[in-house]
Structure 1
Amino acid sequence: MTIAVYDLTVPVFTRMLNNLLVVMDKAEANATERKFDTSVLAQARLAPDMIAFSGQVLIATDHVKGCISRLAGREIPVWPDTEKTFEELRARIAKALDLLASTRPEDLADSDTREVVLKLGGNDMPLSGLDYLTKFAMPNFYFHVTTAYAILRANGAPIGKRDYIAGADSRA
């Protein structure tokens, strides 16, 4: 059985972004209960030299729009990268979810063999669509979503593995 690139991207990205919304909801509710502003969480980081939570969300959604657009052979949408509050970050995630919802299987047909050229360190790095997806886009996406989760967890949000993996499926 051949698995289509669509099946490896759109449902996976959609699920994980929805799960990120769940952990954000739980973190926000916890912040309200503990009487502090979520702007503290939005700027939180695990280490001083690390990108803050808000940046993790921006980069995760950048990987979604970049991956889907490159694999579909389309221009990558330009988003301002100015989101800082939980409300703005949720809207950013919603834009990524809208992009995913508008992507059809035929948009990504044969994209596993389509050449994707990344600019890294000023140099062109050509990859097959499948190598781009599995060796660059997905690992980066998961890194930033996981780091966003870890930042919230490290700051006391009552979230766990089930929220990260099952998220929206576990909403009561």
Structure 2
Amino acid sequence: MNNPKKVFLYYLSNVKRILEENDNVDSHLKHQLTDTMFPAHQHISTAVSFTLRCCCQLASREILTFYRGTDRAALIDELKSTMSYLDSIPDKELESQTSMQFGITAGFAERSFERDTFINIYAIPNFLFHISMAYASLKVSGLSLGKADFDQIHQYPDGFCFE
């Protein structure tokens, strides 16, 4: 994949929709899958930051943040601002730096990757990891979510359950 913007925008819009459609989501945003993991709200903000860390570097732009806070309204605003900014980056800017090395901090490690590895092995998988952890945290906390909420592709009848 040469330009990850479409993937990022697609899944960010799904997260935004989940937050917008669930007025009672605030209490669920604090849920952690385990005591040593981020709560759902942090996974969402971390995923959002991956999109900016990736696309800003690819477009040779300053890495921005639109972080607003941990509640539903703040996360929706962060998502809207990030999606608008990503959408404003011309595709040719994201696709122009083909021979550049991209440096990142991964946990406590400093790494540098060629473009394709940066996008396909680092940025998109880490983005999807945090989106998935947010989704799992929200679901385990009791928010009614299904696979269709995650990807907008699958469809199951109401009340369906794998046993």
Where do residues 1-172 of structure 1 align in structure 2 (5 Å cutoff)?
5-6=2-3, 9-26=4-21, 28-29=22-23, 31=24, 38-79=25-66, 81=67, 83-120=69-106, 124-166=110-152
Q: Is the 8 A contact 1:44 1:151 kept in 2?
A: yes
Task: Flag structure 2 segments of 5+ consecutive residues without an equivalent.
Answer: 154-163
- In 2, the alpha carbon distance for the partners of 1:117 and 1:74 equals 14
- In 2, the alpha carbon distance for the partners of 1:123 and 1:42 equals 28
- In 2, the alpha carbon distance for the partners of 1:121 and 1:148 equals 18
Return the letter of the residue paired with 2:130.
H
Greater relative contact order (Cα < 8 A, sep 6+): 1
Q: Is the 8 A contact 2:49 2:65 kept in 1?
A: no
Question: Residues 123 and 85 of structure 1: is their aligned pair in 2 closer, same or farther, counting only changes over 3 Å?
Answer: closer
Percentage of pairs with the same residue: 21
Q: Is the 8 A contact 1:54 1:89 kept in 2?
A: yes
SS at match of 1:12: helix
Question: Residues 122 and 41 of structure 1: is their aligned pair in 2 closer, same or farther, counting only changes over 3 Å?
Answer: closer
Task: Flag structure 1 segments of 5+ consecutive residues without an equivalent.
Answer: 32-37, 168-172
Please state how far the C-alpha of 1:78 moved relative to its aligned partner.
3.8
Query: Counterpart in 2 of 1:170?
Result: none
How many residue pairs align between the two structures?
153
Higher helix share: 1
SS at match of 1:159: coil
Q: Is the 8 A contact 1:53 1:148 kept in 2?
A: yes
- In 1, the alpha carbon distance for the partners of 2:106 and 2:148 equals 35
Please state how far the C-alpha of 1:115 moved relative to its aligned partner.
1.3
Q: Superposition RMSD on alpha carbons, in Å?
A: 2.0
Query: Counterpart in 1 of 2:158?
Result: none
